[in-house]
Amino acid sequence: MIFFTAAFLLLSFTTEAMASSILVRQGSRGPAVRQVQTLLIEQGWLTGAADGICGNQTVAAIKSFQKANGLAADGICGNGTYSVLSGGQEYQGSSDEDGTAMYVNATGYSAYDPGNSAYTAMGTHVRHGIIAVDPNIIPLGTHVYIPGYGDAVAEDVGGAIHGHRIDVAFDTRAEALAFGRQDIEIYIKD
């Protein structure tokens, strides 16, 4: 019993730590990227607008900032880089009326992908507005908001969906392929 209590407490602390951590790298999208870009622009490391998409210019700016500040110049803004970039501030996440922020690795999928069924684990049709999740992280039936995609409901699971990884459903295979794989910030609404 003590083992299970300790494991539960460790899992609780781990989940809370992940909720307040930051990870901005090539291909990341969302408010966290926009916040890092804004700090880079304010400090003269990046020019242009903070568009919320971590592309080549943002990665190059992060690397330059890291190199100038004695950090490992990998082009990834995690908690350590963010702390230096923000003057010692801890990333608080982007929590507002849209829900609680969570970082996930997301992949597009459709009912037309080889080996996929036309139905979700909950028996509904695979379509835009559905995500596949690890139910231990995001329970089935949970409503989420995905910037650039819209509202979605966790109605599916998958063999490769473990931890903070989701599949985002699209109506066509071409749309799923165009989405590809990205690190994104989603908002848990309930």
What per-residue confidence (pLDDT) applies to 15?
37
What per-residue confidence (pLDDT) applies to 16?
37
Distance of alpha carbon 125 from alpha carbon 170, whole angstroms: 11
In this structure, are 120 and 80 located in the same domain? no
Chunked mean pLDDT (size 10), the chain, 190 residues = 40 39 82 90 93 92 96 92 92 62 93 93 94 96 89 93 96 94 88
Total domains, the chain: 2
Containing domain of residue 50, as a range?
Answer: 21-85
What per-residue confidence (pLDDT) applies to 170?
96
In this structure, are 181 and 120 located in the same domain? yes
Asked if the structure places residue 131 within a domain, the reply is yes
In this structure, are 80 and 104 located in the same domain? no
Residues 36, 77 contacting (CB under 8 angstroms): yes
Q: Domain with 138 in it: what CATH number? A: 2.40.40.10
In this structure, are 105 and 180 located in the same domain? yes
pTM for this prediction: 0.59
In this structure, are 71 and 136 located in the same domain? no
What per-residue confidence (pLDDT) applies to 96?
46
